[in-house]
């Protein structure tokens, strides 16, 4: 859709700036759709388009305001006077750990992310979160080993990384939360009895025949079965 084609059309438009250049885009578009409208093709910083994967991390400022605001480009509707920049990647250190060798405590957090001890409680991370999570609260909970609280407060985190980009202590809250949730799930939640039972059944070979049957099936027959499936 070229801009020339709908110049003069009655679709309401707003002015936005991308990489410093001014554009007019339909006012009902999200940042992502607006950028595609003006000709950008996303190769990075795009994923589910549904506010779930965290790939389209964006910072924007509305002219007249001094504050930088966080957004997920696929969710945020454009505003008149919006100045946009994207952060498709956060160069966070990838810590490698063996979850079997960690203890569910604050020290497991420190072992992998010692910089958590630098937290100033300044709340910048909370202000940078496009999901409105209480980031500072869960970083503080991690610092004192309250993994359950971290789990509850960070559950909806999409790991967009904007908090890490703004933190003055260079903490990566989303990675700290990920470790805390993993520790919680592994050590602090009792394993569902039904899961255990299913594990046993698999080991005993209860589903071997069924699996073999499916694996021998043709692609067409599989497609047929899929179309006819009933979700009971």
Partner 1 sequence: MIKVPYYPGCTLKTTAQNYEVSGLAVARKLGIELIELPSWNCCGVFPSLANDDLMRHIAPIRNLIRVKKMIENGIIEDQYRFVTLCSMCYHTLKEANLFIKDEEKLKKLNTFLEEEYKGEIEPLPFLKLLQVEVGFEKISEEVRKPLKGLKVAPYYGCLLLRPREIGIDNPESPSILEQLLSVLGADVVENPNKTQCCGSYHTVNNKSIVVRLTYDNLIYAIKNGAEVIAVGCPLCAFNLDHYQVEVKKIHFDFKIVPIVYYTQLMAIALGLGKESSGLELGLNYVDPIPVLKRFL
Partner 2 sequence: MDLKEKVESIGAVDVMACVQCGLCSGSCPVRFTMDISPTQVIRLIQLEVIEEIFSSNTFLTCSTCFSCQIICPRKISVTKIMEALRQIILRKGQDLINVGGIPGEELRKLPPIALVSNFRKTTA
Q: Which residue ranges make up the site for partner 2 (CB under 8 A)?
A: 103, 106-108, 110-111, 114-115, 117-118, 143-144
3-state DSSP assignment of residue 179: helix
Binding site partner of 111, from partner 1, partner 2, none, Cβ cut-off 5-8 A by kind: partner 2
Degrees to nearest 5, angle at CA 134 with 133 and 137: 150
Binding site partner of 39, from partner 1, partner 2, none, Cβ cut-off 5-8 A by kind: none
Nearest to 27 by CA among 14, 38, 37: 14
Tokens coding 120: 């100033």
Cβ 179 vs Cβ 154: under 8 Å = no
Binding site partner of 115, from partner 2, partner 1, none, Cβ cut-off 5-8 A by kind: partner 2
- Among positions 145, 163, 175, 177, the unique one binding partner 1 when judged by CB under 8 A: 145
**Of residues 96 and 195, the one with the C-beta less far from partner 2:** 96
- How many CB atoms within 10 Å of residue 135? 28
Stretch that binds partner 1, among 9-17, 26-34, 46-54, 137-145 (CB under 8 A): 137-145
Closest approach, Cβ 17 to partner 1, in A, equals 28
Residue 87: HSE in the Cβ half-sphere, 13 Å Cα cutoff:
22
Closest approach, Cβ 101 to partner 1, in A, equals 19
């Amino acid at each position: 859709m070229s801009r020339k084609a709908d110049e003069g059309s009655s679709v309401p438009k707003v002015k936005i700036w991308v990489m410093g250049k001014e554009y007019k885009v339909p006012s009902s578009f999200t940042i992502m759709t607006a950028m595609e409208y003006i000709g950008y093709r996303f190769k990075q910083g795009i994923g589910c388009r549904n506010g779930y994967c965290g790939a389209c991390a964006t910072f924007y400022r509305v002219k007249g305001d001094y504050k930088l605001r966080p957004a997920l480009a696929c969710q945020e509707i454009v505003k008149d006077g919006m100045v946009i920049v994207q952060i498709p990647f956060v160069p966070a250190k990838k810590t490698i750990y063996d979850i079997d060798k960690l203890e569910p405590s604050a020290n497991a957090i420190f072992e992998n992310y010692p910089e958590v001890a630098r937290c100033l409680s300044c709340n910048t991370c909370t202000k940078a979160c496009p999901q409105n999570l209480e980031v500072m609260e869960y970083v503080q909970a991690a610092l004192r080993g309250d993994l359950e609280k971290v789990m509850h407060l960070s559950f909806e985190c999409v790991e967009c990384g904007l908090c890490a980009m703004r933190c003055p202590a260079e903490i990566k809250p989303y990675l700290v939360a990920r470790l805390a949730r993993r520790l919680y799930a592994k050590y602090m939640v009792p394993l569902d009895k039904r899961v255990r039972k299913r594990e046993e059944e698999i080991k005993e070979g209860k589903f071997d025949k069924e699996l073999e049957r499916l694996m021998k099936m043709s692609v067409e027959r599989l497609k047929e079965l899929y179309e006819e499936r009933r979700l009971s």
